[in-house]
Structure 1
Protein backbone atom coordinates (compact mmCIF):
# COMPACT_ATOMS: atom_id res chain seq x y z
CA UNK A 1 0.00 0.00 0.00
CA UNK A 2 1.35 3.44 -0.97
CA UNK A 3 1.99 5.52 2.14
CA UNK A 4 -0.10 8.62 2.78
CA UNK A 5 1.79 11.82 1.81
CA UNK A 6 2.83 13.45 5.08
CA UNK A 7 2.47 16.94 3.61
CA UNK A 8 -1.27 16.35 3.15
CA UNK A 9 -1.62 15.37 6.79
CA UNK A 10 0.41 18.43 7.84
CA UNK A 11 -1.87 20.63 5.73
CA UNK A 12 -4.98 19.24 7.46
CA UNK A 13 -3.48 19.76 10.93
CA UNK A 14 -2.53 23.33 9.97
CA UNK A 15 -6.01 24.07 8.57
CA UNK A 16 -7.72 22.68 11.69
CA UNK A 17 -5.59 24.87 13.95
CA UNK A 18 -6.23 27.93 11.76
CA UNK A 19 -10.02 27.41 11.73
CA UNK A 20 -9.98 26.96 15.51
CA UNK A 21 -8.18 30.33 15.87
CA UNK A 22 -10.55 32.08 13.47
CA UNK A 23 -13.61 30.80 15.36
CA UNK A 24 -12.33 32.61 18.44
CA UNK A 25 -12.41 35.95 16.59
CA UNK A 26 -15.31 38.29 15.81
CA UNK A 27 -16.92 36.82 12.67
CA UNK A 28 -20.00 37.58 10.60
CA UNK A 29 -22.80 35.04 11.26
CA UNK A 30 -22.59 33.39 7.83
CA UNK A 31 -18.79 33.05 8.10
CA UNK A 32 -19.13 31.57 11.59
CA UNK A 33 -21.62 28.98 10.28
CA UNK A 34 -19.26 27.92 7.47
CA UNK A 35 -16.20 27.69 9.70
CA UNK A 36 -18.08 25.85 12.46
CA UNK A 37 -19.24 23.28 9.92
CA UNK A 38 -15.69 22.85 8.59
CA UNK A 39 -14.27 22.55 12.11
CA UNK A 40 -16.74 19.83 13.09
CA UNK A 41 -15.93 17.90 9.88
CA UNK A 42 -12.16 18.22 10.38
CA UNK A 43 -12.01 17.30 14.07
CA UNK A 44 -12.59 13.50 13.75
CA UNK A 45 -10.08 13.37 10.87
CA UNK A 46 -7.49 15.22 12.97
CA UNK A 47 -8.04 12.78 15.85
CA UNK A 48 -7.41 9.87 13.45
CA UNK A 49 -4.24 11.51 12.08
CA UNK A 50 -2.87 11.99 15.61
CA UNK A 51 -3.65 8.36 16.48
CA UNK A 52 -2.04 7.20 13.20
CA UNK A 53 1.17 9.15 13.86
CA UNK A 54 1.34 7.80 17.41
CA UNK A 55 1.12 4.22 16.04
CA UNK A 56 3.81 4.97 13.45
CA UNK A 57 6.01 6.23 16.29
CA UNK A 58 5.41 3.05 18.30
CA UNK A 59 6.32 0.89 15.30
CA UNK A 60 9.55 2.86 14.85
CA UNK A 61 10.37 2.20 18.51
CA UNK A 62 9.73 -1.52 18.02
CA UNK A 63 12.02 -1.55 14.96
CA UNK A 64 14.76 -0.06 17.15
CA UNK A 65 14.13 -2.76 19.76
CA UNK A 66 14.34 -5.48 17.09
CA UNK A 67 17.80 -4.20 16.21
CA UNK A 68 18.84 -4.70 19.84
CA UNK A 69 21.27 -7.50 20.62
CA UNK A 70 19.14 -8.68 23.57
CA UNK A 71 17.08 -11.68 22.25
CA UNK A 72 14.28 -11.13 24.81
CA UNK A 73 13.82 -7.53 23.62
CA UNK A 74 13.74 -8.69 19.99
CA UNK A 75 11.13 -11.38 20.72
CA UNK A 76 8.92 -8.88 22.60
CA UNK A 77 9.13 -6.37 19.75
CA UNK A 78 8.41 -9.05 17.11
CA UNK A 79 5.34 -10.18 19.09
CA UNK A 80 3.90 -6.66 19.40
CA UNK A 81 4.58 -5.40 15.88
CA UNK A 82 1.91 -7.32 13.86
CA UNK A 83 -1.03 -5.90 15.86
CA UNK A 84 0.36 -2.37 15.53
CA UNK A 85 0.84 -2.81 11.79
CA UNK A 86 -2.75 -4.00 11.48
CA UNK A 87 -3.94 -0.96 13.43
CA UNK A 88 -1.84 1.32 11.23
CA UNK A 89 -3.44 -0.13 8.08
CA UNK A 90 -6.93 0.43 9.51
CA UNK A 91 -6.09 4.04 10.34
CA UNK A 92 -4.53 4.58 6.88
CA UNK A 93 -7.77 3.37 5.29
CA UNK A 94 -9.82 5.76 7.45
CA UNK A 95 -7.55 8.66 6.53
CA UNK A 96 -7.66 7.82 2.81
CA UNK A 97 -11.45 7.86 2.92
CA UNK A 98 -11.34 11.16 4.81
CA UNK A 99 -9.04 12.64 2.14
CA UNK A 100 -11.55 11.88 -0.62
CA UNK A 101 -13.25 15.16 -1.64
CA UNK A 102 -16.42 15.23 0.46
CA UNK A 103 -19.90 16.17 -0.64
CA UNK A 104 -20.49 19.50 1.09
CA UNK A 105 -24.09 18.50 1.76
CA UNK A 106 -23.43 15.14 3.47
CA UNK A 107 -24.06 16.44 6.99
CA UNK A 108 -27.24 18.27 6.02
CA UNK A 109 -30.84 17.30 6.63
CA UNK A 110 -32.78 16.13 3.56
CA UNK A 111 -36.06 16.68 1.80
CA UNK A 112 -37.59 13.37 0.73
CA UNK A 113 -40.04 13.37 -2.19
CA UNK A 114 -41.94 10.24 -3.21
CA UNK A 115 -44.33 10.23 -6.19
CA UNK A 116 -46.48 7.41 -7.54
CA UNK A 117 -45.46 6.44 -11.07
CA UNK A 118 -46.91 3.88 -13.48
CA UNK A 119 -49.46 1.55 -11.98
CA UNK A 120 -52.38 3.70 -10.90
CA UNK A 121 -53.79 2.95 -7.44
CA UNK A 122 -51.20 0.22 -6.85
CA UNK A 123 -48.39 2.73 -7.51
CA UNK A 124 -49.89 5.09 -4.91
CA UNK A 125 -50.05 2.23 -2.39
CA UNK A 126 -46.42 1.39 -3.14
CA UNK A 127 -45.43 5.06 -2.67
CA UNK A 128 -47.07 4.82 0.76
CA UNK A 129 -45.11 1.65 1.53
CA UNK A 130 -41.85 3.34 0.54
CA UNK A 131 -42.57 6.34 2.74
CA UNK A 132 -43.27 4.09 5.74
CA UNK A 133 -40.06 2.17 5.00
CA UNK A 134 -38.00 5.37 5.08
CA UNK A 135 -39.90 6.65 8.13
CA UNK A 136 -39.04 3.47 10.03
CA UNK A 137 -35.42 3.56 8.83
CA UNK A 138 -35.20 7.15 10.06
CA UNK A 139 -36.52 6.10 13.47
CA UNK A 140 -33.81 3.42 13.67
CA UNK A 141 -31.21 6.14 12.99
CA UNK A 142 -32.65 8.46 15.65
CA UNK A 143 -33.81 10.92 12.98
CA UNK A 144 -37.13 12.75 12.86
CA UNK A 145 -39.50 13.03 9.90
CA UNK A 146 -41.81 16.00 9.32
CA UNK A 147 -44.33 16.04 6.46
CA UNK A 148 -44.29 19.14 4.25
CA UNK A 149 -46.87 18.24 1.62
CA UNK A 150 -49.14 15.30 0.96
CA UNK A 151 -51.57 14.13 -1.73
CA UNK A 152 -53.36 10.90 -0.87
CA UNK A 153 -54.24 8.16 -3.32
CA UNK A 154 -57.86 7.22 -4.03
CA UNK A 155 -57.47 3.77 -2.42
CA UNK A 156 -54.73 4.62 0.06
CA UNK A 157 -51.07 5.43 -0.16
CA UNK A 158 -49.90 8.67 -1.75
CA UNK A 159 -49.92 10.22 -5.17
CA UNK A 160 -47.17 12.42 -3.73
CA UNK A 161 -45.63 12.98 -0.33
CA UNK A 162 -42.83 15.39 0.60
CA UNK A 163 -41.13 15.36 4.00
CA UNK A 164 -38.15 16.78 5.85
CA UNK A 165 -35.77 14.30 7.48
CA UNK A 166 -33.73 15.78 10.34
CA UNK A 167 -30.69 14.19 11.94
CA UNK A 168 -26.96 13.60 11.79
CA UNK A 169 -25.63 12.69 8.33
CA UNK A 170 -29.09 12.29 6.79
CA UNK A 171 -28.16 13.30 3.24
CA UNK A 172 -24.96 11.23 3.28
CA UNK A 173 -26.99 8.06 3.88
CA UNK A 174 -30.13 8.89 1.91
CA UNK A 175 -28.73 10.51 -1.25
CA UNK A 176 -28.39 7.25 -3.18
CA UNK A 177 -32.13 6.52 -2.84
CA UNK A 178 -33.03 8.90 -5.69
CA UNK A 179 -34.42 7.09 -8.71
CA UNK A 180 -37.25 4.81 -9.84
CA UNK A 181 -38.26 2.06 -7.40
CA UNK A 182 -40.22 -0.83 -8.94
CA UNK A 183 -42.54 -3.25 -7.15
CA UNK A 184 -43.73 -6.66 -8.34
CA UNK A 185 -46.66 -8.10 -6.39
CA UNK A 186 -50.27 -9.25 -6.57
CA UNK A 187 -52.54 -6.26 -5.79
CA UNK A 188 -55.41 -6.75 -3.33
CA UNK A 189 -57.85 -6.00 -6.16
CA UNK A 190 -56.40 -8.72 -8.42
CA UNK A 191 -58.79 -11.68 -8.57
CA UNK A 192 -56.70 -13.85 -10.93
CA UNK A 193 -53.62 -13.83 -8.69
CA UNK A 194 -51.49 -12.19 -11.36
CA UNK A 195 -48.35 -10.28 -10.43
CA UNK A 196 -48.46 -6.60 -11.42
CA UNK A 197 -45.51 -4.24 -11.81
CA UNK A 198 -45.80 -0.67 -10.54
CA UNK A 199 -43.33 2.07 -9.81
CA UNK A 200 -42.70 5.14 -7.68
CA UNK A 201 -40.07 7.84 -8.01
CA UNK A 202 -37.94 8.91 -5.06
CA UNK A 203 -35.97 12.16 -4.88
CA UNK A 204 -33.69 13.06 -1.98
CA UNK A 205 -32.59 16.71 -1.88
CA UNK A 206 -30.19 18.25 0.63
CA UNK A 207 -31.82 20.88 2.82
CA UNK A 208 -29.82 24.05 2.25
CA UNK A 209 -29.47 27.30 4.16
CA UNK A 210 -29.27 30.91 3.09
CA UNK A 211 -25.48 30.65 3.14
CA UNK A 212 -25.63 27.78 0.60
CA UNK A 213 -27.87 29.45 -1.99
CA UNK A 214 -29.08 33.04 -2.33
CA UNK A 215 -32.65 33.80 -3.45
CA UNK A 216 -33.67 37.35 -4.28
CA UNK A 217 -37.05 38.49 -2.97
CA UNK A 218 -37.75 40.12 -6.33
CA UNK A 219 -37.51 36.71 -8.01
CA UNK A 220 -40.39 35.28 -5.95
CA UNK A 221 -44.13 35.33 -6.58
CA UNK A 222 -45.95 34.34 -3.39
CA UNK A 223 -49.64 33.40 -3.46
CA UNK A 224 -51.86 32.59 -0.48
CA UNK A 225 -54.96 30.43 -0.79
CA UNK A 226 -57.26 28.20 1.16
CA UNK A 227 -55.90 24.75 1.90
CA UNK A 228 -57.55 21.85 0.11
CA UNK A 229 -58.42 18.33 1.20
CA UNK A 230 -57.95 16.86 4.66
CA UNK A 231 -56.81 19.10 7.47
CA UNK A 232 -59.80 20.05 9.59
CA UNK A 233 -62.48 22.71 9.30
CA UNK A 234 -59.94 25.54 9.31
CA UNK A 235 -59.10 24.79 5.67
CA UNK A 236 -62.32 26.49 4.56
CA UNK A 237 -61.89 29.55 6.75
CA UNK A 238 -58.30 30.76 6.41
CA UNK A 239 -55.93 31.32 3.51
CA UNK A 240 -53.06 29.46 5.15
CA UNK A 241 -51.75 27.56 2.10
CA UNK A 242 -48.70 29.03 0.37
CA UNK A 243 -47.55 28.72 -3.22
CA UNK A 244 -44.18 30.19 -4.17
CA UNK A 245 -43.03 30.57 -7.76
CA UNK A 246 -39.38 31.23 -8.50
CA UNK A 247 -39.77 33.40 -11.59
CA UNK A 248 -36.32 32.92 -13.23
CA UNK A 249 -36.48 29.11 -13.15
CA UNK A 250 -40.26 28.56 -13.12
CA UNK A 251 -39.92 26.29 -10.07
CA UNK A 252 -43.13 26.10 -7.99
CA UNK A 253 -43.58 24.81 -4.45
CA UNK A 254 -46.83 24.46 -2.50
CA UNK A 255 -47.30 23.85 1.24
CA UNK A 256 -50.58 23.63 3.19
CA UNK A 257 -49.86 21.27 6.08
CA UNK A 258 -49.69 23.91 8.83
CA UNK A 259 -52.54 26.09 10.08
CA UNK A 260 -50.14 29.03 10.20
CA UNK A 261 -49.47 30.88 6.96
CA UNK A 262 -46.11 31.96 8.37
CA UNK A 263 -45.04 28.34 9.05
CA UNK A 264 -46.18 27.21 5.62
CA UNK A 265 -44.18 30.01 4.01
CA UNK A 266 -41.04 29.01 5.95
CA UNK A 267 -41.45 25.39 4.85
CA UNK A 268 -42.09 26.41 1.25
CA UNK A 269 -38.90 28.48 1.20
CA UNK A 270 -36.94 25.47 2.52
CA UNK A 271 -38.34 23.34 -0.29
CA UNK A 272 -37.57 26.01 -2.87
CA UNK A 273 -33.95 26.41 -1.72
CA UNK A 274 -33.49 22.63 -1.86
CA UNK A 275 -34.95 22.39 -5.37
CA UNK A 276 -32.87 25.27 -6.74
CA UNK A 277 -29.70 23.90 -5.17
CA UNK A 278 -30.49 20.45 -6.58
CA UNK A 279 -30.95 21.93 -10.05
CA UNK A 280 -27.49 23.50 -9.78
CA UNK A 281 -25.98 20.17 -8.64
CA UNK A 282 -27.69 18.28 -11.47
CA UNK A 283 -26.38 20.74 -14.04
CA UNK A 284 -22.82 20.34 -12.73
CA UNK A 285 -23.16 16.55 -12.64
CA UNK A 286 -24.25 16.49 -16.29
CA UNK A 287 -21.27 18.64 -17.24
CA UNK A 288 -18.96 16.18 -15.46
CA UNK A 289 -20.74 13.05 -16.72
CA UNK A 290 -18.25 12.52 -19.54
CA UNK A 291 -15.47 12.18 -16.99
CA UNK A 292 -17.20 9.98 -14.43
CA UNK A 293 -19.08 6.73 -14.86
CA UNK A 294 -20.30 6.23 -11.30
CA UNK A 295 -23.48 4.15 -11.30
CA UNK A 296 -24.12 4.64 -7.60
CA UNK A 297 -23.96 8.41 -7.48
CA UNK A 298 -25.58 9.31 -10.79
CA UNK A 299 -28.74 10.65 -9.12
CA UNK A 300 -30.70 10.16 -12.33
CA UNK A 301 -34.36 10.17 -11.28
CA UNK A 302 -35.42 8.32 -14.42
CA UNK A 303 -33.08 5.41 -13.70
CA UNK A 304 -34.61 2.20 -12.32
CA UNK A 305 -32.48 1.58 -9.27
CA UNK A 306 -34.28 -1.07 -7.22
CA UNK A 307 -36.90 -3.81 -7.49
CA UNK A 308 -39.07 -5.08 -4.63
CA UNK A 309 -40.32 -8.56 -5.56
CA UNK A 310 -43.00 -9.71 -3.10
CA UNK A 311 -43.68 -13.25 -4.43
CA UNK A 312 -39.97 -14.12 -3.98
CA UNK A 313 -39.43 -11.96 -0.91
CA UNK A 314 -36.40 -10.27 -2.44
CA UNK A 315 -35.12 -6.75 -2.88
CA UNK A 316 -32.57 -6.06 -5.62
CA UNK A 317 -30.44 -2.96 -6.14
CA UNK A 318 -29.54 -2.94 -9.83
CA UNK A 319 -26.66 -0.47 -9.55
CA UNK A 320 -24.48 -2.78 -7.48
CA UNK A 321 -26.16 -6.10 -8.40
CA UNK A 322 -27.06 -6.79 -4.77
CA UNK A 323 -30.03 -9.03 -3.97
CA UNK A 324 -31.23 -9.62 -0.42
CA UNK A 325 -33.97 -12.08 0.52
CA UNK A 326 -35.34 -9.98 3.37
CA UNK A 327 -38.12 -7.94 1.79
CA UNK A 328 -40.52 -7.99 4.79
CA UNK A 329 -37.74 -6.75 7.11
CA UNK A 330 -36.67 -4.11 4.57
CA UNK A 331 -40.21 -2.71 4.34
CA UNK A 332 -40.08 -2.37 8.14
CA UNK A 333 -37.09 -0.05 7.77
CA UNK A 334 -34.27 -2.62 7.92
CA UNK A 335 -32.40 -1.21 4.90
CA UNK A 336 -29.15 -0.25 6.63
CA UNK A 337 -27.13 -3.00 4.90
CA UNK A 338 -28.41 -1.86 1.49
CA UNK A 339 -27.50 1.76 2.16
CA UNK A 340 -24.11 0.81 3.63
CA UNK A 341 -23.33 -1.30 0.54
CA UNK A 342 -24.11 1.67 -1.72
CA UNK A 343 -21.89 3.97 0.34
CA UNK A 344 -19.05 1.41 0.33
CA UNK A 345 -19.30 1.00 -3.45
CA UNK A 346 -19.27 4.77 -3.93
CA UNK A 347 -16.21 5.13 -1.71
CA UNK A 348 -14.43 2.36 -3.65
CA UNK A 349 -15.14 4.19 -6.90
CA UNK A 350 -13.75 7.43 -5.51
CA UNK A 351 -10.61 5.71 -4.14
CA UNK A 352 -10.06 3.99 -7.52
CA UNK A 353 -10.47 7.30 -9.35
CA UNK A 354 -8.01 8.98 -7.00
CA UNK A 355 -5.46 6.17 -7.43
CA UNK A 356 -5.81 6.38 -11.22
CA UNK A 357 -5.28 10.16 -11.07
Structure 2
Protein backbone atom coordinates (compact mmCIF):
# COMPACT_ATOMS: atom_id res chain seq x y z
CA UNK A 1 0.00 0.00 0.00
CA UNK A 2 1.22 3.49 -0.81
CA UNK A 3 2.67 5.58 2.03
CA UNK A 4 0.15 8.35 1.40
CA UNK A 5 -2.74 5.93 1.94
CA UNK A 6 -1.13 4.57 5.09
CA UNK A 7 -0.80 8.10 6.44
CA UNK A 8 -4.45 8.85 5.62
CA UNK A 9 -5.57 5.67 7.38
CA UNK A 10 -3.51 6.48 10.47
CA UNK A 11 -5.18 9.90 10.58
CA UNK A 12 -8.56 8.15 10.58
CA UNK A 13 -7.50 6.09 13.58
CA UNK A 14 -6.49 9.29 15.41
CA UNK A 15 -9.74 10.97 14.43
CA UNK A 16 -11.68 8.02 15.85
CA UNK A 17 -10.10 8.67 19.24
CA UNK A 18 -11.02 12.35 19.01
CA UNK A 19 -14.61 11.51 18.08
CA UNK A 20 -14.90 9.04 20.96
CA UNK A 21 -13.80 11.80 23.31
CA UNK A 22 -16.24 14.30 21.79
CA UNK A 23 -19.15 11.88 22.05
CA UNK A 24 -18.45 11.40 25.75
CA UNK A 25 -18.69 15.13 26.51
CA UNK A 26 -21.96 16.34 28.02
CA UNK A 27 -22.04 19.67 26.15
CA UNK A 28 -21.97 17.78 22.85
CA UNK A 29 -24.79 15.50 23.99
CA UNK A 30 -26.90 18.54 24.88
CA UNK A 31 -26.74 19.90 21.32
CA UNK A 32 -28.60 17.31 19.24
CA UNK A 33 -27.58 18.72 15.85
CA UNK A 34 -23.89 18.62 16.75
CA UNK A 35 -24.28 15.21 18.39
CA UNK A 36 -25.97 13.83 15.26
CA UNK A 37 -23.22 15.20 12.98
CA UNK A 38 -20.46 13.77 15.17
CA UNK A 39 -22.27 10.43 15.39
CA UNK A 40 -22.48 10.22 11.60
CA UNK A 41 -18.79 11.01 11.25
CA UNK A 42 -18.01 8.48 13.99
CA UNK A 43 -19.87 5.76 12.08
CA UNK A 44 -17.93 6.48 8.88
CA UNK A 45 -14.56 6.74 10.61
CA UNK A 46 -15.20 3.58 12.65
CA UNK A 47 -15.74 1.59 9.47
CA UNK A 48 -12.50 2.84 7.91
CA UNK A 49 -10.44 2.51 11.10
CA UNK A 50 -11.74 -1.02 11.68
CA UNK A 51 -10.76 -2.14 8.21
CA UNK A 52 -7.36 -0.50 8.66
CA UNK A 53 -6.84 -2.38 11.93
CA UNK A 54 -7.70 -5.65 10.16
CA UNK A 55 -5.28 -4.75 7.36
CA UNK A 56 -2.45 -4.11 9.85
CA UNK A 57 -3.26 -7.37 11.66
CA UNK A 58 -3.14 -9.37 8.42
CA UNK A 59 0.21 -7.74 7.57
CA UNK A 60 1.54 -8.91 10.93
CA UNK A 61 0.12 -12.38 10.27
CA UNK A 62 1.85 -12.43 6.89
CA UNK A 63 5.18 -11.45 8.46
CA UNK A 64 4.78 -14.21 11.06
CA UNK A 65 3.97 -16.76 8.37
CA UNK A 66 7.07 -15.77 6.42
CA UNK A 67 9.17 -16.33 9.53
CA UNK A 68 7.64 -19.82 9.87
CA UNK A 69 9.02 -20.71 6.43
CA UNK A 70 12.43 -21.26 8.03
CA UNK A 71 11.05 -24.22 9.98
CA UNK A 72 10.74 -27.23 7.60
CA UNK A 73 7.93 -28.77 9.66
CA UNK A 74 5.85 -25.61 9.44
CA UNK A 75 6.63 -24.73 5.81
CA UNK A 76 3.46 -26.22 4.32
CA UNK A 77 1.21 -24.50 6.83
CA UNK A 78 3.17 -21.28 6.33
CA UNK A 79 2.59 -21.39 2.56
CA UNK A 80 -1.16 -21.77 3.13
CA UNK A 81 -1.16 -18.92 5.63
CA UNK A 82 0.83 -16.70 3.27
CA UNK A 83 -1.59 -17.34 0.41
CA UNK A 84 -4.61 -16.60 2.61
CA UNK A 85 -3.03 -13.47 4.09
CA UNK A 86 -2.03 -12.09 0.69
CA UNK A 87 -5.56 -12.63 -0.65
CA UNK A 88 -7.03 -10.92 2.41
CA UNK A 89 -4.58 -8.03 2.10
CA UNK A 90 -5.54 -7.45 -1.53
CA UNK A 91 -9.24 -7.52 -0.67
CA UNK A 92 -8.80 -5.21 2.32
CA UNK A 93 -6.64 -2.78 0.32
CA UNK A 94 -9.34 -2.54 -2.35
CA UNK A 95 -12.02 -1.98 0.30
CA UNK A 96 -9.93 0.70 2.00
CA UNK A 97 -9.30 2.53 -1.26
CA UNK A 98 -13.03 2.45 -1.99
CA UNK A 99 -13.84 3.75 1.49
CA UNK A 100 -11.36 6.61 1.09
CA UNK A 101 -13.07 7.91 -2.04
CA UNK A 102 -14.74 11.28 -1.47
CA UNK A 103 -18.38 11.02 -0.45
CA UNK A 104 -21.14 12.68 -2.45
CA UNK A 105 -22.88 15.29 -0.28
CA UNK A 106 -26.24 14.03 -1.53
CA UNK A 107 -25.63 10.51 -0.19
CA UNK A 108 -27.09 11.39 3.22
CA UNK A 109 -30.16 13.11 1.80
CA UNK A 110 -33.58 11.60 1.31
CA UNK A 111 -34.97 10.74 -2.10
CA UNK A 112 -38.51 10.47 -3.37
CA UNK A 113 -39.44 8.09 -6.13
CA UNK A 114 -42.65 8.61 -8.06
CA UNK A 115 -44.07 5.74 -10.07
CA UNK A 116 -47.01 6.57 -12.31
CA UNK A 117 -49.08 4.55 -14.68
CA UNK A 118 -48.61 5.95 -18.17
CA UNK A 119 -50.79 5.55 -21.20
CA UNK A 120 -52.02 2.03 -21.61
CA UNK A 121 -54.92 1.80 -19.21
CA UNK A 122 -55.16 -1.12 -16.82
CA UNK A 123 -52.01 -2.80 -18.12
CA UNK A 124 -49.83 0.20 -17.30
CA UNK A 125 -51.42 0.50 -13.84
CA UNK A 126 -50.64 -3.18 -13.16
CA UNK A 127 -47.05 -2.69 -14.30
CA UNK A 128 -46.67 0.39 -12.08
CA UNK A 129 -47.95 -1.63 -9.10
CA UNK A 130 -45.54 -4.48 -9.83
CA UNK A 131 -42.67 -2.02 -10.19
CA UNK A 132 -43.55 -0.41 -6.86
CA UNK A 133 -43.60 -3.78 -5.07
CA UNK A 134 -40.27 -4.80 -6.63
CA UNK A 135 -38.63 -1.54 -5.62
CA UNK A 136 -40.11 -1.69 -2.11
CA UNK A 137 -38.69 -5.18 -1.58
CA UNK A 138 -35.32 -4.08 -2.92
CA UNK A 139 -35.27 -1.16 -0.48
CA UNK A 140 -36.17 -3.45 2.43
CA UNK A 141 -33.35 -5.85 1.56
CA UNK A 142 -30.87 -2.99 1.20
CA UNK A 143 -31.91 -1.59 4.58
CA UNK A 144 -33.22 1.67 3.18
CA UNK A 145 -36.19 3.51 4.62
Q: TM-score, normalising length from structure 2? A: 0.78
More helix by share: 2
Question: d(CA) in 1 for partners of 2:106 and 2:42?
Answer: 15
Q: What do the CA deviations read for 1:176-210 (whole angstroms, capped 9, x no partner)?
A: xxxxxxxxxxxxxxxxxxxxxxxxxxxxxxxxxxx
Aligned to 1:95: 96
| Number of residue-to-residue matches in the alignment | 139
Aligned to 2:7: 7
Whether contact under 8 Å (2:9, 2:48) holds in the other structure is: no
Gaps of 5+ in 2: none
Question: d(CA) in 2 for partners of 1:16 and 1:85?
Answer: 27
Q: What do the CA deviations read for 1:213-239 (whole angstroms, capped 9, x no partner)?
A: xxxxxxxxxxxxxxxxxxxxxxxxxxx
Question: d(CA) in 2 for partners of 1:36 and 1:135?
Answer: 28
Compute the displacement of 1:60 (Å): 1.5
Whether contact under 8 Å (2:65, 2:82) holds in the other structure is: yes
Compute the displacement of 1:71 (Å): 2.8
Q: Give the aligned CA root-mean-square deviation in angstroms.
A: 2.5
Partner of residue 59 from structure 1, selected from 56, 62, 86? 62
Q: What do the CA deviations read for 1:316-339 (whole angstroms, capped 9, x no partner)?
A: xxxxxxxxxxxxxxxxxxxxxxxx
Moved over 6 A (4+): none
Provide the secondary structure at the position in 1 that maps to 2:116.
strand
Compute the displacement of 1:13 (Å): 0.9
Q: TM-score, normalising length from structure 1? A: 0.35
Structure whose CA Rg is larger: 1
Question: d(CA) in 1 for partners of 2:42 and 2:81?
Answer: 35
Question: d(CA) in 2 for partners of 1:65 and 1:132?
Answer: 56
